[in-house]
Amino acid sequence: MDGATGRGIPNAVVTVDGSRPVLSESDGFYMVEGVEAGTRTLQVEAFGYRPTTRELEVTRDVMLDVAVDAAAFVLDPLIVAPRAVDVTGRVRDPIRDAPLKSVDIRTSSGQTTRTNARGRFDVTGWEGMGLFLEIRAFGYMPLDTVIEPGDGRPRVYFLRPDPLVEEMIDVEIRRIEDRAGGQRAITMRPLDRTLLLRRWSGHTVEELLRLQYGRRAQRIRCTVIDEESLTAAVAEGVLSTTLAQDVERIEFLFDGAMLRIYTRDFMRTMLGSGIELRPPTYVDVVDPPFCS
């Protein structure tokens, strides 16, 4: 029984050495049968109480009330945390049917990342909790959405081109074309962003030059990227690491001897600061030729 209240304790385990343990009934009553005579040890264990031991002398049937004291114990706090879930998504341009690289992703939990060359990104969410995503890219309309991590659905987000930015880019492209004038190579047509994304997404500029222009690419004697003339060694390294998705326009001047590339980042700068375009210059009487 409870030592403080005198009430019977149900389901207490009562053991007398030399006999099988028994459970007390709802009123705390117990009966241990078949105990041999002699000095015996009785032990009582019950949830929420301290184990209690009594010595008794068994000569005949014995009635024994055992008072047990409540045990002071502390339960560890139960912490229920949602399960972390990896969330993978892809961002695409639906007009050009191509993945978008370097798209900025920000979540409501403070995570920031960018899409890779395949338009893919990875963030962490929590199962059963909505995750807010901000998706931003230069030249595209912003996209805000809420997802439910852990639902197993494939996630593809389509960013539509911003018509205002597209119009501003067209103005700058016309400036570039006007500046080239009669120096543009007739047999090596320029590549704009639409062609670069649709056909060459995931390829480096070096690869697309070789595959698109073949032997004609051997005419290239100098390379100008973002209005800066590069040495042959530097140009080789840049062309082999720059992806088509990072480029806004590729053009050829002076019958293909000059390769001019305008990156997406440079185009953003052009829109913001109105960069002055210098007339193209190519001098082939020196080796290597001078170009700017």
Does residue 220 contact residue 260 with C-beta atoms inside 8 Å?
no
Give the model's confidence band at 116: pLDDT under 50 very low, under 70 low, under 90 confident, else very high: very high
Domain end residue (candidates: 54, 73, 92): 73
Kindly report, residue by residue over 120-157, the tens digit of the pLDDT.
Answer: 999 888 766 778 899 999 999 999 988 877 766 778 99
Give the mean model confidence (pLDDT) for residues 95-109.
91
**Neighbouring residues of 77: CB distance < 8 A, sequence distance ≥ 6:** none
Q: Is residue 211 part of a domain?
A: yes
The number of distinct structural domains making up the chain is: 3
Does residue 224 contact residue 291 with C-beta atoms inside 8 Å?
yes
In this prediction, residue 100 carries a pLDDT of: 94
Instruction: Label residue 212 left, alpha or beta by phi (over 0 means left) and psi (-120 to 50 means alpha).
Output: alpha
| CATH code of residue 13 | 2.60.40.1120
State whether 275 and 194 are in the same domain. yes
In this prediction, residue 57 carries a pLDDT of: 83
**Neighbouring residues of 196: CB distance < 8 A, sequence distance ≥ 6:** 208, 244, 245, 247, 250
Q: Is residue 115 part of a domain?
A: yes
Q: Is residue 79 part of a domain?
A: no
In this prediction, residue 169 carries a pLDDT of: 92
Q: Tell me what the pLDDT averaged over the chain comes to.
A: 87
- The Cα-based distances of 108 to 123, 125, 136, 163 in angstroms read 11, 10, 14, 28
Q: Is residue 257 part of a domain?
A: yes
State whether 136 and 218 are in the same domain. no
Kindly report, residue by residue over 175-227, the tens digit of the pLDDT.
Answer: 999 988 889 898 899 999 999 999 998 899 999 999 999 999 999 999 999 99
Higher pLDDT, 79 or 253: 253
CA–CA distance, 90 with 156 (Å, rounded to integer): 5
**Neighbouring residues of 253: CB distance < 8 A, sequence distance ≥ 6:** 180, 183, 184, 185, 260, 280, 282
Give me the domain span that covers residue 50: 1-73
In this prediction, residue 75 carries a pLDDT of: 57
In this prediction, residue 291 carries a pLDDT of: 86
State whether 33 and 127 are in the same domain. no
Helices (H), the chain: 163-180, 193-200, 205-213, 232-241, 264-273
In this prediction, residue 74 carries a pLDDT of: 60
Q: Determine the residue type at 260.
A: R
| Percentage of the chain modeled with pLDDT above 70 | 95
Q: Own/partner pairs for 230-238, CB < 8 Å, 24+ apart? A: 231/288, 232/288, 236/206, 238/205
State whether 123 and 241 are in the same domain. no
In this prediction, residue 45 carries a pLDDT of: 86
In this prediction, residue 209 carries a pLDDT of: 94
Q: Determine the residue type at 275.
A: I
User: 132-141 burial, b if ≥16 CB within 10 A, otherwise e?
Assistant: ebebebebbe
Q: Is residue 172 part of a domain?
A: yes
State whether 170 and 283 are in the same domain. yes
Q: Is residue 78 part of a domain?
A: no
Q: Is residue 240 part of a domain?
A: yes
Across the chain, which distance is largest between two alpha carbons, in Å? 127
Lowest mean pLDDT among 139-143, 205-209, 262-266, 281-285: 281-285
In this prediction, residue 73 carries a pLDDT of: 57
In this prediction, residue 80 carries a pLDDT of: 60
Higher pLDDT, 72 or 1: 1
Interior angle at CA 129, CA 126 and CA 131, nearest 5: 80
Beta pairing, strands 112-114 & 104-107: antiparallel
Residue 283, strand partner residues: 290
State whether 177 and 126 are in the same domain. no
State whether 285 and 180 are in the same domain. yes
State whether 132 and 171 are in the same domain. no
Residue 43, strand partner residues: 15, 53
In this prediction, residue 138 carries a pLDDT of: 92
Interior angle at CA 205, CA 200 and CA 210, nearest 5: 85
Give the model's confidence band at 18: pLDDT under 50 very low, under 70 low, under 90 confident, else very high: low
CA–CA distance, 88 with 104 (Å, rounded to integer): 14
| DSSP track, 239-262 | HHH-BGGGEEEEEEETTTTEEEEE
State whether 233 and 175 are in the same domain. yes
Question: Is the Cα dihedral 195, 240, 179, 220 positive or negative?
Answer: negative
| Percentage of the chain modeled with pLDDT above 90 | 45
State whether 116 and 93 are in the same domain. yes
Q: Is residue 178 part of a domain?
A: yes
**Which strand (E) or helix (H) includes residue 120?**
strand 120-126
State whether 286 and 167 are in the same domain. yes
In this prediction, residue 68 carries a pLDDT of: 81
Domain end residue (candidates: 30, 48, 73): 73
List the structure tokens of 100: 């978008």
Give the model's confidence band at 288: pLDDT under 50 very low, under 70 low, under 90 confident, else very high: confident
In this prediction, residue 11 carries a pLDDT of: 81
CA–CA distance, 143 with 99 (Å, rounded to integer): 15
Domain end residue (candidates: 100, 130, 158): 158
State whether 240 and 151 are in the same domain. no
Kindly report, residue by residue over 56-77, the tens digit of the pLDDT.
Answer: 888 877 787 888 888 765 656 6
